[in-house]
Amino acid sequence: MRLTFAGAAGTVTGSCFFLETKGTKILVDCGMFQGLPELEVRNTEPFSFDPAQVDWLILTHGHLDHLGLVPRLVREGFQGRGICTVPTRDIAQVMLMDAARIQEEEEEGALYTVEDALDSLDRFSVLVEYGEEVELGRGITAKFHDAGHILGATFVEIKGEGKTLVFSGDLGNRGKPLVEDPVYPPKADALILESTYGDRFHPPLADSVEELRRVIVETLRNGGNVVIPSFALERTQEVLYILFWLWKERKIPRTKIFLDSPLATQATKIFERYTERFPEPARKIFRKKEDPFDFELLEYTLSKAASKKIAEEDGVIIIAGSGMCTGGRVLYHLRANLPRPESSIVFVGYQAEGTLGRAILDGAPEVEILGSLVPVRAGIWRIEGLSAHADQEVLVDWALHADPGQTFLVHGEPRALGALAARLADHGYSVHIAAWRETVEL
């Protein structure tokens, strides 16, 4: 077997792995590169394989950096079949239609159209559940396991030619409110492992919830706003769930909470269809007909006019996308609140190199937003325990269960990759940090 690292090699975005077996060619994810301009330019470069030759496209989950280039793949000749879980199919629909609309608004260099996105959604004809195995032909099988990352996310075990390969996809953090913990992988001859937080340790969720509570209470007391740049999938729903509990137990004062993201609103509707998949106690809460996605403080602002009116409010909580502040309505709220010392910006997810979110987190004294220079005077917070990604401890523990013959580290920035490689080497494993477009024989 031959494996080509067509993306997410040396970086966290653009996940794409091309596996050639004797009879079948498989692509695991086909994600968009995001962040630094020198990365984003890769979205327009020719694929390092022929899309027409790919028989199967396995989609581990619905984040854009794992599926964002699927419409381009289809446009450039992919004729094969797509496999993913049922929730991932629903999520893919929302994410790809949104991405295609953004692409169509680009003045030049649009990667694909809404029509391409619709075509690509038709390709996902094989829908699987956790634990299910799919015959890919010529003795090759793919089995899907719960990655505990976001709703519907999987890691994939591919067997064939006497070998077992495990692609981690994105691995979840443990103890999350709305997704189960990741299950352990089987013994693997080769492990392709994500490394997003390979150099970090997350605090327990309870500590992070308490930190969020404190920031909210203090900010509201000072008359400022709490702006939470949030990813539409999972993180937004988790933040809503946590705010619901904080309010239910009266641990935060009465205030308005705006969910100012049409995409996150659509995503939340998908989550409402799958509440039976939530771990306890979330599942129970939804069964009781209490709705953490629709409680008295919460307001969904769908129209642009409703979004603009938020600026007239003070002492409110605003959840808006995009999560890394690279676009979307959060930009308006940042422009309004960054100069205000009484306001707080709370980051609850990964901020890739080159994004506005990363610049603010790294302490930039001023940033450029929508063409104007904005001084950063607001309180800046990073709440790590809400991360959707496993930290070093979970990654190492998980990898040790795979007891891999070979390990390839992907989906990480150089520091995280290096730190995780060193830890795994301490345990006696030979580790290779994959390079972009590198091909290895397995």
Residues that bind Zn ion (CB under 5 A): 63, 170
State the alpha helices, DSSP H only, in 106-227. Answer: 114-122, 205-221
- In the complex with Zn ion, the residue whose CB is nearer, 143 or 149, is 149
Q: Minimum Å distance from CB 299 to Zn ion? A: 28
Beta bridge partners of 84: 127
DSSP 64-83: HHHHTTHHHHHHTT--SEEE
- In the complex with Zn ion, the residue whose CB is nearer, 292 or 323, is 323
Q: Which two tokens stand for residue 388?
A: 């959707």
The Cα-based distances of 326 to 72, 120, 301, 323 in angstroms read: 21, 25, 20, 8
Cβ 198 vs Cβ 94: under 8 Å: no
- In the complex with Zn ion, the residue whose CB is nearer, 157 or 170, is 170
Q: Which two tokens stand for residue 393?
A: 């401890």
Q: Minimum Å distance from CB 2 to Zn ion? A: 26
Q: Minimum Å distance from CB 116 to Zn ion? A: 22
Report the C-alpha gap between 173 and 432 in whole angstroms: 23
- In the complex with Zn ion, the residue whose CB is nearer, 1 or 30, is 30
- In the complex with Zn ion, the residue whose CB is nearer, 63 or 202, is 63
Q: Minimum Å distance from CB 8 to Zn ion? A: 10
The structure tokens 């306890």 sit at 280
- In the complex with Zn ion, the residue whose CB is nearer, 63 or 72, is 63
Q: Which two tokens stand for residue 236?
A: 């937004």
Short-list 348, 329, 342, CA closest to 377: 342
Q: Minimum Å distance from CB 86 to Zn ion? A: 18
Q: Minimum Å distance from CB 99 to Zn ion? A: 15
Q: Minimum Å distance from CB 69 to Zn ion? A: 15
Quickly count helices (H) and strands (E) in the chain: 14, 22
Q: Minimum Å distance from CB 66 to Zn ion? A: 6
- In the complex with Zn ion, the residue whose CB is nearer, 124 or 286, is 124
Residues 6+ apart with CB under 8 A from 189: 163, 164, 165, 404, 405, 406, 442
- In the complex with Zn ion, the residue whose CB is nearer, 63 or 89, is 63
Report the C-alpha gap between 74 and 374 in whole angstroms: 41
